[in-house]
Chains A and B, each alone.
Chain A
Amino acid sequence: MTPKQRNTLIVSGMGFALVLPFIVSNPSHQNYLILVLMFAQIGVAWNILGGYVGQVSLGHVAFFGIGAYTSTVLLVSVGLSPWIGMLIGGVVAAFFGLLIGWICFRFKGHYFTMATIAVAEILQVLFTNWEGVGGAVGLYVPLDQQGWWAMVFNSKLPYYYIALGLFTVTLLANWAIEKSFLGYYFRAIKDDPEAARSLGVSLTDYKLVAIAISSFFAALGGSFYAQKELFIDPGSVLVTSLSIKMSLVTILGGIGSLFGPLVGSVLLTGIEEATRQILGGSGMGIDLIIYATIIIAVAIYYPTGILGWAKRFLRRGKKAEDGA
């Protein structure tokens, strides 16, 4: 793909995304689109640390939850607009990310992953028993004020555009990182840590930069989730299954690539919604089995995700053409 083709694709994609909710007017389908964008957004956030730097965190829900709780608590207690609460939540999560990084980057590989799970699980226990933030009961977003300032709406449409906006901002941040010196350092740390170190790249410092950025954006997603669902509790915004989902959309779509999380989210959220509608709410375990089969199949057969597979497929096609 030439840069020109790429730009055309992105611009037309953006235009398509802007008019899409007018084509799809069914509220439950609109809800699906919102979920796709939301998981794509936190997937992009996860990708900054997991995909580019290669530090696989499965505790990222901690940052998502911090975002959700910070904005909601500020809204409930002092009536602060979620827009500001969202940014504060992002900053809090970024600092928390630095702390977690300081602890967990001592471990490499698999054990880093386990340490991040431990952090998220601790947070879930603490929030479940912290009466000040609703404890196990959870928190409701007050409905007395509606509109843009309060980020509470009757229709799905505004949520769609907020999700699209958040996704775009996160994607642009990711793109800027990819193009800047940070992108090169991140990939150097992932591909060959020893070489990066010998060139004077401080591994821990840049991993910390990555986790702070990644946590910030994951927290924005959390605040958005709280406003969309109008209710949060530890069982919904601090569960490990959410950590798995944000990493899985990325891996399914293409880890370490800009649009991987979007592609993965379209597919995974679609599969989830479809199984939920066909099998009903509980799913009786079949939904889990389908989900798990996808994870295992991707891990074994398509480690580069759909985008990686498509790229190889296109290249092969081109080679055949050239040969003919």
Chain B
Amino acid sequence: MNWDILLQTLLSGILIGMVYALVAVGLSIIYGVMEIVNFAHGEFLMFGMYSSFWLFTLFALDPLLTLPLSALFLFALGALVYRFTIKRIASAPMVSQIFATFGLMILFRGVAQFLWKPDFRTVENSLVSGNIVVSGLYFGIPHLVAAVGAVLATGGVWWFINRTRLGAALEATAQDKEAAQLMGIPSHWMFALAWGLGAACAGVAGVLLSTFFPIFPEVGATFSLIAFVVVALGGFGNVTGAFWAGIIVGVVEVLGGFLIGPEYKLAIVLTLFLLVIIVRPQGLMGRAE
């Protein structure tokens, strides 16, 4: 076995895993607060990618510069999605909840196909491109920047939830929305905040990915599935858990692809998911209820 290649693979797994973690944190916040799995989560990421692509193509604005703008746009989209669909099914039977977000997933893909055609698009020659070599190991600068950006964003979300009053209110709603409501925390605003924040996380990850990942209407599908696995692994509503689980999933995916074959990547990650369900239904880092 070539150890350099193995090490290289491991590192690239860690880098992409950090981005997966950010996507999963968004999913996890929404689930933590509302106990609704957002099947349209990957589509928020897709919109993040397209927003970055169009700002770059039309106005020559670099993805790194437009990141805050995209984050804001996705936050608004997430909050609007809550206001106009999710709010109405917040206490509906589970089937309705599942199909509402599934419907959103198909709707967003349809809108993307309608507006931007099913073509593959790429952001070329952005500020971040090229490689650097550190002691014989190659790093794609876009990958490196995406990983660092994702860690910063994940850290920011952690800080927001654990260190600010608003974050504490969100956490309180997640734990007991009736009690939180009695303390004067309006549940509906917190739900909207969770959806906004969740969508923004996925959107920021999309922008970070857009510098080296092809952009197309169905791009979110794989990321949704991976985010589900990360959340299941890290325990629900747990930012730190999602971070480490993201890295584990990234490494397993890339390493598994390297050892077994890249065409099996997704199957390997999903198998990991099923194995975790069998062994530890509460997640690797979750506590048993």
Contacts and interface: CB of A to CB of B under 8 A. Distances in A.
Contact of B225 (A106, A118, A285, A288): A118
A260 B271 CA distance: 34
A110 B95 CA distance: 9
Contacts of B99: 247-248, 251, 295-296, 298-299
B110 A291 contact: yes
A295 B94 CA distance: 14
Contacts of B271: 122
Interface residues of B, number: 48
Interface stretch (B164-172, B186-194, B196-204, B261-269): B261-269
A106 B281 contact: yes
Interface in B217-276: 217, 225, 228-229, 232, 261, 263-264, 266-267, 270-271, 273-274
Interface stretch (B46-54, B111-119, B122-130): B111-119
Contacts of B115: 285
A125 B263 contact: yes
A130 to B, nearest CB: 11
A299 B106 CA distance: 14
Interface string A110-132: 11011101110110011011000
Interface in B91-150: 92-100, 102-107, 109-115, 117-118
B225 A104 contact: no
Residue of B35, B95, B118 contacting most chain A CB atoms (<10 Å): B95
Interface in A253-294: 255, 282, 284-289, 291-294
A114 B100 contact: no
A62 to B, nearest CB: 12
A56 B97 CA distance: 11
Residue of B98, B99, B217, B261 contacting most chain A CB atoms (<10 Å): B99
A129 B99 CA distance: 31
Given A251-B99, A299-B103, A110 B94 contact: yes
A16 interface: no
B181 interface: no
B109 A125 contact: no
A118 B106 contact: no
B278 interface: yes
B36 interface: yes
Contacts of A111: 37, 232
Name A's interface SS. helix
A31 to B, nearest CB: 24
A107 interface: yes
Given A107-B281, A286-B114, A300-B88, A292 B95 contact: no
B267 A122 contact: yes
A286 B196 CA distance: 26
Contact of B273 (A109, A115, A128, A299): A115
Nearest to A119: B274
Contacts of B113: 284-285, 288
Given A118-B270, A303-B95, A295 B106 contact: yes
B11 interface: no
B277 interface: yes
A58 interface: yes
A121 B225 contact: yes
Contacts of B94: 54, 56, 109-110
A294 to B, nearest CB: 8
B211 to A, nearest CB: 26
Contacts of B263: 125, 128-129
Nearest to B99: A299
A244 interface: yes
A289 B266 contact: no
A299 B37 contact: no
A104 B273 CA distance: 11
Given A114-B228, A115-B273, A292 B217 contact: no
B228 A285 contact: no
B107 A296 contact: yes
A239 to B, nearest CB: 11
Given A110-B36, A129-B264, A285 B96 contact: no
B92 A303 contact: yes
B273 A244 contact: no
Contacts of A285: 109-115, 217
Contacts of A106: 277-278, 281
A300 B270 contact: no
Residue of A107, A119, A126, A295 contacting most chain B CB atoms (<10 Å): A295
9 contacts: A56-B98, A115-B274, A117-B228, A288-B107, A293-B103, A295-B103, A296-B103, A299-B100, A300-B100
Given A118-B225, A121-B266, A300-B89, 14 more contacts: A103-B278, A110-B31, A114-B228, A118-B229, A118-B270, A121-B270, A285-B109, A285-B111, A289-B107, A292-B104, A293-B107, A299-B99, A299-B103, A300-B96
Interface of A: 50, 54, 56, 58, 103-104, 106-107, 109-111, 113-115, 117-119, 121-122, 125-126, 128-129, 244, 247-248, 251, 255, 282, 284-289, 291-296, 298-300, 303
- List the 8 shortest-distance A-B pairs measured between CB atoms, nearest first: A288-B110, A285-B113, A295-B103, A285-B114, A292-B107, A296-B103, A125-B267, A292-B106
